[in-house]
Chains A and B, each alone.
Chain A
Amino acid sequence: MRTTEFMKERQWLRGASRALPVVMGYIPIGFAFGVLAQKAGLSVWHTLAMSVFVFAGSSQLIAVGLIAAGTAPISIIITTFIVNLRHMLMAASVSPHLKGWRKRELAGFACELTDETFAIHSVSFANGTPSKGEVFTTNIVSQLSWVVGSWLGVTMGQLISDVRPYGLDYALAAMFIALLVMQISNWVQAAVAVAAGVLSLGFMFLGWDQWHVILATVIGATVGVVVEECSKKR
């Protein structure tokens, strides 16, 4: 009895500590979102509702910009859909690790699947099977920090105007660098990463905004499979 309780405590701790780099990025970015939301004329409750129910950083930042500009709701919703469509690829790629989960557990997991929680999970899934408790703790702590950051921004946006002197604007980029390094264990994966990164940059310069990540990912992963199959045959 005692040992199982101890184990449970440990899985929460592990899940929470895994979310720590995400928290360091989400609080300042959530803060920035809150400040912009307040400037766009959103109330505290609007802002919190968006961070709780949408929970997708870049699309929320884009949405408050559009709301401020008086864009029609339907265009905002369509833009959000396109911006967040990349999560479909991420959800597909973690799904083989979620065998045996109940539908509502999967729904709970899915509504907190962001770029950042995905990046954390895809590394931990590759290194073994974390318990559901661990996975959910990482997600909940991450979203909580996003909501708290948004709340701080919308309520006291005037207090801190700039997080740049603390390097906080680099937390998520640094996290992606580290998680990418941890994803790569052979040369095909390295080639896939380089190809997808360069393609994404190229598509962005071509002006294919919002689609560049999805296109580059699809092509990159396909190149990976083709190279893998070819090297098997030889």
Chain B
Amino acid sequence: MIYLTIAGMALVTFLPRVAPVWFLSSRSLPSVVAAWLRYVPPAVLAAMLLPSILAPEGTLNLQWDNLYLWAALPTLWVAWKTRSLFGAVLTGMALVALARLIWGL
């Protein structure tokens, strides 16, 4: 029964992933649609990111103990200045680890 559940999950995950690339990649899209699709990456990344750093526990937390939020600022700065994905990730992780070590959060 679990394998059946997994097969169903696999199917309903795969279809929305494959349908757009199958149907859209061979077509030339109207310019408005193409423009709309170009705004999807910044929109969807921000839509996933903001709740995870402003409300990591599900409720808005702008207090000093929200490490995810405060570590985001130097991470953003490093990403902006260096354009290095790996450098930014290491900065964020190191800051979170360090803050936990010092303040035991």
By a beta-carbon cutoff of 8 Å, the part of chain A in contact with chain B is 18, 20-21, 24, 42, 46, 49-50, 53-56, 59, 63, 67, 73-74, 76-78, 80-81, 84-96, 98-99, 101, 103, 106-107, 109-111, 113, 115, 118-119, 122-123, 126, 164-171, 173-184, 188-190, 192-201, 204-205, 212-213, 216-217, 220-222, 224-225, 228-229
Q: What are 30 A-B pairs with beta-carbon distances under 8 A? A: A49-B3, A67-B5, A77-B8, A80-B8, A80-B12, A84-B12, A87-B16, A88-B20, A91-B19, A92-B40, A94-B21, A106-B25, A165-B97, A168-B93, A171-B93, A174-B71, A177-B75, A178-B79, A179-B45, A181-B80, A194-B46, A195-B43, A196-B43, A198-B50, A213-B48, A216-B46, A220-B47, A221-B37, A225-B32, A225-B35
Contacting residues, chain A, for B18 (C-beta < 8 A) = 91, 106-107, 110-111
Interface majority SS on B: helix, strand, loop or mixed? helix
Count B interface residues, CB 8 Å: 74
The 5 A-B residue pairs whose C-beta atoms are closest, nearest first, are: A174-B92, A197-B50, A167-B97, A220-B43, A224-B39
> Do A177 and B51 touch across chains, with their CB atoms under 8 A apart?
no
Please classify the interface of chain A as helix (H, G, I), strand (E, B), loop, or mixed, using the class held by over half of its residues. Answer: helix
Choice from B55, B71, B79, B92 contacting A201 with Cβ under 8 Å: B55
Q: How far is the CB of A234 from chain B (nearest CB, A)?
A: 17
Which residues of chain A have C-beta atoms less than 8 A from B14's C-beta?
Answer: 110-111
- Identify B68's interface contact among A94, A109, A170, A217, CB under 8 A: A170
Distance between Cα atoms of A198 and B46 in the complex (Å): 8
Docked-complex contact A167 and B85, CB < 8 angstroms: no
Specify which of B4, B51, B91, B95 lies most central, judged by the most chain A CB atoms within 10 Å of its CB: B51
Residue from A122, A164, A173, A212 with most neighbouring chain B CB atoms (10 Å):
A173
What distance in Å separates the Cβ of A199 from its nearest Cβ neighbour in chain B?
A: 7
Q: Which residues of B contact A119 (CB under 8 A)?
A: 41, 45
- A21 x B89 contact (CB < 8 A): yes
Q: A-contacting residues of B (Cβ < 8 Å)?
A: 1-10, 12-14, 16-22, 24-26, 29, 32, 34-55, 58, 60, 67-68, 71-72, 75-76, 78-80, 83-86, 88-89, 91-98, 100-101
Q: Is the CB of B42 within 8 A of A91?
A: no
